């Protein structure tokens, strides 16, 4: 059921306010003032999920991170996302293995390629081992134990167990429960998460934001040197006519992440000469995937900082969930027939997430349509048509066939129809660009 106009407006106003840069600066100033007043050190909590590929990558930078910055690093072992925060838990773990293997080299880290699901007994043993050591030993040990676990090296794992021992099942479960509860208390749900003074940073992908923040607070012992986790550059330099490659792009009209990468994706495809096939899907919550307040708040705040880094307008939003999305999609087949399908989607995302336009009425939707250089008088004829429903469901099924369920997602296909990359996330556009460069140079 769609939210009421009042609820939609209030939710939009609150999200826009909380994720503004001005509000962020105020929160950080208050947090630092409170930290200094209490005499606390710079405490960073890291939450490690043993069976999560992203956690294994993050564990490999813990030692370097704690040595470089004047922090107190507290490491915790946790369970994976639970309840409505994990509607596709098995798919997420599978993606974490595949994705971690793809990005590890870029960060100078290690992860086995073509890894299989971990042995549940081995995961239990590793949790018991980590639960048996002192907190001070965890930052170094997590990566060592994780290496043996992910390589499937039973001998190495047995040797580590002999050296460090294993906690009882009861004690291990208690450690997991306490740490998982702490993560929930701090309002998050995933593994590979760093928390510092009210803000969350996911794995090696977002650690550079925390590094920058600590540097601003004077906690960087090597100020001026590159961050431990540099943000990869999105570039197709040297590629100008990769017309034998097809990039399938799966966006949705209620996705904050899609809103900040849509235009960049189109631009990248045009620059590289790749054939871009845009395959929009319904927003997750409109196709029955539950969402929690914690997940929503994190996504909106994370998108805001990603947008600021990219120099993309974002944050003044008017939530388009429900009817606005359906109305715009009803115009999509017509816009596509005019060669302006991407222009319509781009305009809608910009008006909903950067300009704060209420797209739930004709006045707002007219602005969207005309900004896409389309005729509103013609658009009204097609408003409410249902052709889009079959199209979007076909796209969703195709996306799921690739082991993906979130947006934006990407699939890169060569001239022979072979898929070379299937990946989820606006923060993987650099990976798409890298694969385009690799395939282009191989021809």
Q: What is the pLDDT of residue 87?
A: 66
Strand residues in 197-290 grouped as ranges (E) = 199-202, 246-250, 275-278
| pLDDT attached to residue 292 | 82
Q: What are the tens digits of pLDDT across the range 425-439?
A: 999 999 999 999 999
Q: What domains are there in the chain, each with its CATH number?
A: 39-216 (3.40.30.10), 246-442 (3.40.30.10)
Residue whose pair of structure tokens reads 């998982």 in the numeric block? 180
pLDDT of residue 28: 97
What residues are paired with 69 via a beta bridge?
220
Write out pLDDT tens, residues 46-55: 999 999 999 9
**pLDDT for the residue numbered 90:** 83
Q: Where is 194: in which H helix or E strand?
A: strand 193-196
Helix (H, G, I), strand (E, B) or coil at 419: strand
Q: Say what the pLDDT of residue 443 is.
A: 75
Query: Against a cut of 0.85, is the pTM above it?
Result: yes
How many Cα atoms are found within 13 Å in the side-chain-facing hemisphere of 169? 2
Where the chain has pLDDT below 50, the residues are none
């Amino acid at each position: 059921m769609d939210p009421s106009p009042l609820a939609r407006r209030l939710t939009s106003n609150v999200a826009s306010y909380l994720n503004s840069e001005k509000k962020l600066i105020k929160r950080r100033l208050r947090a630092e003032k409170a930290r200094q007043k209490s005499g606390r050190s710079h405490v960073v909590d890291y939450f490690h999920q043993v069976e999560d590929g992203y956690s294994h990558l993050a564990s490999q930078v813990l030692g370097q991170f704690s040595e470089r910055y004047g922090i107190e690093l507290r490491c915790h072992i946790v369970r994976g996302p639970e309840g409505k925060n994990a509607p596709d838990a098995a798919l997420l773990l599978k993606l974490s293995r595949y994705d971690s293997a793809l990005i590890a080299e870029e960060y100078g880290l290690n992860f086995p390629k073509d890894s299989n699901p971990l042995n549940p007994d081995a995961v239990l043993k590793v949790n018991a081992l980590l639960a048996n050591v002192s907190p001070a030993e965890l930052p170094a040990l997590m990566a060592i134990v994780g290496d043996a676990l992910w390589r499937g090296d039973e001998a190495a794992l047995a040797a580590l167990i002999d050296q460090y021992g294993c906690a009882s099942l009861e004690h291990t479960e208690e450690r997991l429960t306490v740490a998982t509860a702490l993560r929930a208390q701090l309002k998050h749900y995933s593994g590979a998460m760093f928390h510092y003074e009210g803000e969350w940073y996911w794995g090696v992908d977002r650690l550079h934001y925390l590094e920058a923040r600590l540097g601003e607070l004077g906690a960087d012992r090597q100020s001026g040197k590159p961050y431990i986790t540099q943000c990869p550059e999105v570039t197709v330099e040297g590629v100008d006519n990769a017309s034998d490659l097809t990039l399938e792009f799966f966006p949705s009209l209620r996705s904050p992440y899609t809103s900040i990468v849509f235009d960049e994706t189109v631009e990248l495809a045009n620059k590289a000469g790749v054939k871009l096939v845009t395959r929009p899907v319904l927003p997750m919550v409109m196709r029955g995937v539950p969402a929690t307040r914690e997940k929503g708040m994190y996504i909106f705040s994370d998108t805001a900082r990603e947008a600021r880094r990219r120099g993309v307008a974002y944050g003044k939003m008017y939530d388009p969930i429900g009817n606005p999305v359906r109305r715009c999609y009803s115009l999509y087949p017509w816009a596509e027939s005019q060669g302006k399908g991407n222009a319509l989607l781009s305009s809608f995302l910009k008006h909903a997430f950067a300009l704060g336009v209420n797209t739930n009425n004709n006045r707002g939707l007219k602005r969207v349509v005309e900004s896409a250089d389309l005729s509103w008088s013609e658009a009204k004829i097609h408003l409410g048509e249902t052709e889009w429903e079959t199209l979007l469901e076909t796209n969703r099924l195709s996306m799921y066939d690739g082991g993906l369920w979130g947006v934006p997602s990407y699939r890169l296909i060569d001239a022979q129809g072979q898929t070379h990359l299937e990946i989820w996330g606006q923060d993987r556009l650099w990976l798409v660009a890298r694969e385009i460069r690799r395939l282009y140079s191989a021809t």
